[in-house]
């Protein structure tokens, strides 16, 4: 590949990634897959669709503009780049926003200016976030949907083999990155 073609290729990748990000964001605002109760799953489907569309757009552009240096490898690369970068963004920002105690606490304080004690904020968190917004119920239902827990005949719930595998994975990751172990070893 000539230096000029290399520069155009990089610019092509960047442009198509930006387009795939816009497609991803746009798809999240459609009714498509709205029935998926778990945001992470819905987002991953949209990320795959955006990646496929980015690769298709690259192929169309090659055909229309007769760009000889683009080939199947480039379509695969733009698909992978699109999916990887969109996944990182999605998990770090929207998924965190949806689940974050910090985001709720700061947003509440911004909408309700005043002085708060830590006890005030804790009470607001429990009453509004946990009880009124159903934070526990939402996370519990997600675990049922994902198959990490299942309801028994007697109405009680039990961790599944899949759930046990997920716990082991989280414990491994907690150890690898030296995170606070209280959440993965609650009895210690």
Closest by Cα among 187, 184, 161 to 173 = 184
Question: In the Cβ-directed half-sphere of 5, how many Cα atoms lie within 13 Å?
Answer: 8
Report DSSP state, residue 132: I
Q: pLDDT (tens digit, 0 to 9) for every residue of the chain, 188 residues total?
A: 688 878 888 888 898 889 999 999 999 999 888 888 788 889 999 999 999 998 888 888 878 877 777 778 888 888 999 999 999 999 988 888 888 888 899 999 999 999 999 999 999 999 999 999 999 998 999 999 999 999 999 999 999 999 999 999 999 999 998 988 898 999 98
pLDDT digits (tens, 9 = 90+) for 110-148: 999 999 999 999 999 999 999 999 999 989 999 999 999
Task: Give long-range contacts, CB 8 A cutoff, 24+ apart: 139-147.
Answer: 141/37, 142/37, 142/38, 145/37, 145/38, 146/38, 146/41
Query: Is the CB of residue 21 less than 8 Å from the CB of residue 50?
Result: yes
Q: Which pTM was predicted?
A: 0.72
């Amino acid at each position: 590949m000539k230096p000029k073609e290399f520069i155009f290729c990089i610019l092509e990748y960047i442009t198509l990634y930006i387009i795939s990000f816009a497609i991803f964001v746009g798809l999240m605002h459609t009714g498509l897959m709205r029935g998926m109760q778990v945001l992470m799953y819905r987002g991953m489907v949209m990320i795959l669709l955006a990646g496929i569309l980015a690769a298709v757009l690259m192929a169309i552009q090659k055909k229309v503009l007769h760009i000889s240096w683009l080939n199947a490898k480039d379509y695969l690369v733009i698909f992978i780049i699109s999916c990887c970068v969109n996944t990182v963004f999605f998990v770090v920002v929207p998924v965190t926003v949806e689940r974050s105690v910090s985001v709720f606490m700061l947003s509440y304080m911004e909408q309700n200016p005043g002085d708060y004690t830590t006890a005030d904020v804790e009470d607001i968190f429990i009453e509004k976030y946990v009880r009124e917004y159903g934070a526990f119920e939402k996370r519990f239902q997600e675990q049922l949907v994902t198959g990490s827990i299942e309801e028994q005949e007697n109405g009680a719930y039990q961790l599944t083999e899949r759930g046990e595998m997920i716990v082991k994975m989280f414990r491994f990751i907690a150890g690898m990155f030296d995170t606070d172990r209280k959440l993965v070893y609650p009895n210690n």
